[in-house]
Amino acid sequence: MNVNAIPKVELHRHLEGALRYGTMKEWVVADRLLPASSPEAQFKDFILIDKPVDGLKVFLEKFGLIHQVLSSEARIQRMACEACQDAYAEGVRVLELRYSPVFIQGARKHLGFDQIHAAILQGIQQAVKSCPMAVGLIGILGREWDLRTATRVTDFFIENKDTVIGMDLANDEANFDGKPFAGLFRKARSAGLHLTVHAGESLIPTSSQSILSALDDLGAERIGHGVQIHKDPALMEEVARRGVLLELCPTSNILTKSIAAPAAYPINRIRAAGVKVCINADDPGVFDYDLNHEYRMLAQLHGLTEADFAAMNRAAFSSTPT
Ligand SMILES: [Zn+2]
């Protein structure tokens, strides 16, 4: 099977996590974080997460580095352009990219949300000239945020609803409940934004409640990851009944140790329960793989066929607002 040739719909790719490795290396050298003469292994160790890691610390380090290098509009534009070009090269023809303006801005005074958003849109426009594809942007709230920040950012997404198709909730599911953001998710939905929520991602005893809360408290139309649902047949039945799509991100779950190994990825159990799923790369830059790697792994280890992939891409497409 030539997985590269499969036209793909990818709904869960983080813009910042898709920052191209070669570009990241270039900026790490330009910002004098590592000397240009550093061995390749040192660059990789500094930039990438390419083996399973424990806890959040390593992630925070790597994403901290991404934040650090995203220091100008020109760089943000280039990141967005290359993220689209890379997805296109992987066969993606409908792409939803998500990003957090708060993450990119950090403590920087010279970069406002408007400038960050405009730079991303310019990067996308630049890419689609030579890579004909549909690209939608999702705005992210962080679970660990205070309500004041989350309100400000929700309002920003609503003000930009012409160019933001939906809102997401991400980050530490183990320690932060999504419920405090229920009012903001209602507000976003009534303003016309679509809703997706990272839930059932972490290996925690409350993963089923987390998925249910995403659906019932936050009104999520799709679930980011949701993979832990495989342990709860009743919930799989309910999610199948509601027709909610899970945005599965296989290797991401293995690198974060929420699933033990590629061979243990429960995609067939979830699909057999009638739950709609699609395949996504999540953070292909920082994780050092691409979407075709995911398709190949699922074909080789789990027997998925071209017809299976076509069905999943159709399900993904019918879960987009376009
Ligand atoms: Zn994600």
Distance 56 CA to ligand 1 centre (A): 14
Q: What mean pLDDT comes out for the span 274-292?
A: 97
Q: Regarding predicted confidence, which is higher, 321 or 307?
A: 307
Distance 247 CA to ligand 1 centre (A): 9
pLDDT at position 322: 61
Give the list of residues 6+ apart from residue 216 with CB closer than 8 angstroms, or none: none
Q: What mean pLDDT comes out for the span 286-290?
A: 94
Question: Is it the case that residue 87 has pLDDT exceeding 80?
Answer: yes
Q: Please report which confidence band the pLDDT of residue 57 belongs to, taking 50, 70 and 90 as the band edges.
A: confident
Tell me the three state secondary structure of residue 98. Answer: strand
Token pair for 240: 């199948």
Distance 118 CA to ligand 1 centre (A): 22
CB-based neighbours (< 5 A) of ligand 1, an ion: 282
Average pLDDT, the chain: 96
pLDDT tens-digit map of 174-213 = 999 999 999 999 999 999 999 999 999 999 999 999 999 9
Give the list of residues 6+ apart from residue 15 with CB closer than 8 angstroms, or none: 79, 80, 83, 97, 98, 99, 120
pLDDT at position 54: 81
pLDDT at position 204: 92
Distance 33 CA to ligand 1 centre (A): 27
Question: Is it the case that residue 41 has pLDDT exceeding 90?
Answer: yes
Give the list of residues 6+ apart from residue 112 with CB closer than 8 angstroms, or none: 105
- Whole-angstrom distance, CA of residue 15 vs CA of residue 97: 6
**Architecture of the CATH domain 3-318:** Alpha-Beta Barrel (3.20)
pLDDT at position 55: 66
Whether pTM exceeds 0.95: yes
Residues in the chain: 322
Distance 97 CA to ligand 1 centre (A): 10
Distance 69 CA to ligand 1 centre (A): 20
Distance 46 CA to ligand 1 centre (A): 21
Question: Is it the case that residue 56 has pLDDT exceeding 90?
Answer: no
Distance 18 CA to ligand 1 centre (A): 11
- Whole-angstrom distance, CA of residue 278 vs CA of residue 136: 16
Give the list of residues 6+ apart from residue 39 with CB closer than 8 angstroms, or none: none
Token pair for 284: 């292909």
201 part of the active site = yes
Q: What percent of the chain has pLDDT over 90?
A: 95
Catalytic residue among 10, 201, 221, 294: 201
Q: Please report which confidence band the pLDDT of residue 59 belongs to, taking 50, 70 and 90 as the band edges.
A: confident
Q: What percent of the chain has pLDDT over 70?
A: 99
Q: Please report which confidence band the pLDDT of residue 321 belongs to, taking 50, 70 and 90 as the band edges.
A: confident
What angle (nearest 5°) sits at the alpha carbon of residue 141, between those of residues 65 and 287?
40
pLDDT tens-digit map of 225-252 = 999 999 999 999 999 999 999 999 999 9
How many of the other CB atoms lie within 10 Å of CB of 147?
12
- Measured CA to CA in angstroms, residue 181 lies from 2, 37, 151, 186 at distances of 43, 47, 9, 9
